[in-house]
């Protein structure tokens, strides 16, 4: 059959406009929200929101094509070509339809993130290709054994449920088999974990192999048993591969890609920030760090955007489209200890009550020193960024002698580092804080 004839009569050709319309209209807002700016991998991962819908469209169209071949009695006429050779060109337009739908999703997400390098992302694209092909093949098998009025809606609904709902499970490995965690990839300091890609490919590869076996052997008890065994093996292998992954299939990005300067303090940034924004971030980091150092606050020698700062380094959690206030907040946040593991496990963490106060005090200290100099009058923390109680406590601290403020800050850092140290109270000045004296 000529290629143009295959494309003209294919269900994939007829379904394609509906899939593209659904991706661009119904999913457009979701695809353009929360994409990490300027990071191509994040755009590719976020585009995976459309994957369950593209897979469902492939399964339904594949069911129609499989049923069409069965109704035409193509396999009952002693054909020269094998059943697989006959089926492959008929299903290729269906798989291509799913790929074009995902390309539309990727383009939408990449444009929203302001990046043109959403393609290629080999790991993400491999997961998409495997799952689209698996759904197409399984749909064609369903279409060959059931009437179209049953096969098409059954393939459509079953595919969507199996591809979309594992992300809601408390057990994480099933979601990685169907690429369910890709939409959460990736922050600029993260990359896709290869185990998630391997797990999905193991699963989709097994499903494809099982479907091909059924197509070639034209069903039968032995072929069905073998297909089930192959699928179970793929699920087991994929689950074992993804067993240690969390809900997001990511790992820290290598710090080798960071671009560090030689200033004081050193500032290490990801290349996605670009030249102009990197200059802004470095200037704001040094301005804020210098203001805090003049007030006696210890400042590290290095601020880095790495996911895991090394010894003597402070994290710098700025977005790739950072503005000056974002940088100030990131410097302040990097000076405070990360939440300890005991608190992440749910253990009591008394110091959590003073985190906001410490952040407000550092922010106000940096602002007052930068704008008025070390002898100037301290500023009250900016309204709206902190709770009234935290702002009031920070304002009270700023009225105390500098040595007293720094002593409170050092004791607070010790308390924030573990779950067993009680935070120090704000030294009393006679002012009213939150209704207490």
List, for residues 344-358, the tens digit of each pLDDT value. Answer: 888 888 888 889 999
- Domains of the chain, by residue range, sit at 3-253, 255-335, 339-437
**Do the Cβ atoms of 423 and 337 come closer than 8 Å?**
no
> How much is the pTM?
0.85
Integer Cα distance of 309 and 331 in angstroms: 13
**DSSP classification of residue 268:** E
Integer Cα distance of 63 and 136 in angstroms: 8
Residue 129 pLDDT grade (very low, low, confident, very high; cuts 50, 70, 90):
very high
Distances, alpha carbon 48 to alpha carbons 251, 350, 367, in Å: 18, 40, 42
Residue 118 pLDDT grade (very low, low, confident, very high; cuts 50, 70, 90):
low
Integer Cα distance of 355 and 332 in angstroms: 11
User: How many helices (H) does the chain have, and how many strands (E)?
Assistant: 17, 6
Tokens coding 360: 């407000």
List, for residues 263-278, the tens digit of each pLDDT value. Answer: 889 999 999 888 899 9
Give the pLDDT score at 299: 92
Integer Cα distance of 239 and 2 in angstroms: 42
Give the pLDDT score at 205: 96
Residue 434 pLDDT grade (very low, low, confident, very high; cuts 50, 70, 90):
very low
Residue 96 pLDDT grade (very low, low, confident, very high; cuts 50, 70, 90):
very high
The residues near 369 (Cβ < 8 Å, ≥ 6 apart) are: 291, 292, 294, 295, 376
Tokens coding 414: 């010790």
Query: Regarding predicted confidence, which is higher, 369 or 351?
Result: 351
Tokens coding 83: 């059943």
Least confident of 58-62, 68-72, 152-156, 317-321: 68-72
Integer Cα distance of 361 and 381 in angstroms: 7
22 pLDDT above the threshold of 70: yes
Residue 431: Cβ within 10 Å count: 12
Residue 429 pLDDT grade (very low, low, confident, very high; cuts 50, 70, 90):
low
Bridge partners (DSSP) listed for residue 267: 303
380 pLDDT above the threshold of 60: no
Integer Cα distance of 51 and 129 in angstroms: 10
Looking at residues 320-342, what average pLDDT do you find? Answer: 89
| Alpha helices by DSSP H, 146-217 | 148-164, 173-177, 194-217
Integer Cα distance of 92 and 20 in angstroms: 18
Residue 305: Cβ within 10 Å count: 27
Integer Cα distance of 27 and 417 in angstroms: 42
Distances, alpha carbon 176 to alpha carbons 137, 193, 196, 226, in Å: 20, 11, 6, 24
414 pLDDT above the threshold of 70: yes
The residues near 231 (Cβ < 8 Å, ≥ 6 apart) are: 206, 207, 210
Give the pLDDT score at 2: 57
Distances, alpha carbon 90 to alpha carbons 3, 53, 258, 288, 329, in Å: 10, 21, 48, 63, 57
Query: CA nearest 334: which of 354, 353, 306, 357?
Result: 306
Query: CA nearest 385: which of 409, 412, 357?
Result: 357
**Do the Cβ atoms of 135 and 201 come closer than 8 Å?**
no
**Do the Cβ atoms of 110 and 48 come closer than 8 Å?**
no
List, for residues 159-194, the tens digit of each pLDDT value. Answer: 999 999 999 998 999 999 999 989 888 889 999 999
Per DSSP bridges, beta strands 190-192 and 250-252 are: antiparallel
Residue 376 pLDDT grade (very low, low, confident, very high; cuts 50, 70, 90):
very low
Give the pLDDT score at 70: 75
**434's torsion region: left (phi>0), alpha (psi -120 to 50) or beta?**
left
**DSSP classification of residue 385:** T
């Amino acid at each position: 059959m000529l290629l143009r004839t295959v494309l003209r009569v294919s269900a994939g050709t007829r379904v394609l406009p509906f899939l593209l319309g659904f991706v661009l209209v119904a999913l457009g807002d979701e695809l353009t929200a929360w994409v990490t700016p300027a990071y191509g991998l994040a755009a590719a991962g976020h585009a995976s929101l459309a994957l369950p819908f593209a897979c469902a469209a492939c399964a339904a169209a594949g069911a129609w094509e499989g049923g069409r071949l069965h109704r035409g009695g193509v396999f009952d006429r002693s054909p020269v070509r094998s059943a697989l050779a006959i089926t492959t060109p008929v299903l290729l337009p269906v798989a291509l339809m799913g790929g074009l739908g995902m390309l539309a999703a990727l383009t939408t997400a990449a444009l929203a993130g302001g990046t043109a390098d959403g393609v290629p992302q080999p790991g993400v694209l491999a997961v998409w290709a495997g799952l689209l092909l698996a759904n197409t093949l399984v749909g064609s098998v369903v279409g060959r054994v059931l009437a179209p009025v049953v096969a098409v809606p059954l393939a459509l609904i079953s595919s969507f449920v199996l591809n979309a709902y594992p992300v809601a499970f408390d057990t994480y490995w099933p979601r990685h088999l169907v690429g369910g965690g890709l939409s959460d990839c990736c922050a600029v300091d993260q990359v896709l974990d290869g185990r998630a890609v391997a797990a999905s490919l193991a699963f989709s590869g097994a499903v494809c192999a099982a479907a091909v076996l059924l197509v070639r052997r034209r069903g039968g008890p032995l072929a069905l048993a073998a297909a089930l065994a192959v699928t179970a093996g793929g699920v087991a292998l994929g689950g074992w591969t993804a067993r240690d992954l969390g809900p997001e299939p990511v790992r820290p990005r290598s710090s080798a890609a960071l671009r560090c300067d030689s200033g004081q303090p050193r500032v290490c940034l990801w290349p996605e920030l670009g030249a102009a924004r990197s200059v802004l971030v470095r200037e704001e980091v040094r301005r804020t760090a210098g203001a805090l150092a003049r007030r006696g606050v210890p400042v590290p020698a290095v601020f880095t955007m790495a996911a895991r700062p090394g010894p003597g380094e402070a994290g710098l959690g700025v977005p790739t489209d950072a503005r000056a206030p974002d940088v100030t907040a990131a410097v302040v946040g990097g000076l405070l200890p990360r939440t300890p593991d005991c608190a992440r496990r749910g253990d009591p963490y008394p110091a959590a009550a003073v985190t906001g106060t410490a952040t407000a005090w550092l922010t106000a200290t940096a602002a007052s020193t930068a704008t008025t100099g070390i002898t100037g009058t301290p500023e009250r923390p900016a309204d709206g960024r902190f709770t009234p109680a935290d702002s009031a406590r920070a304002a009270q601290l700023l009225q105390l002698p500098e040595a007293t403020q720094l002593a409170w800050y050092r004791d607070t850092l010790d308390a924030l580092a573990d779950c067993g140290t009680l935070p120090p109270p704000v030294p009393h000045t006679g002012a009213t804080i939150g209704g207490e004296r």
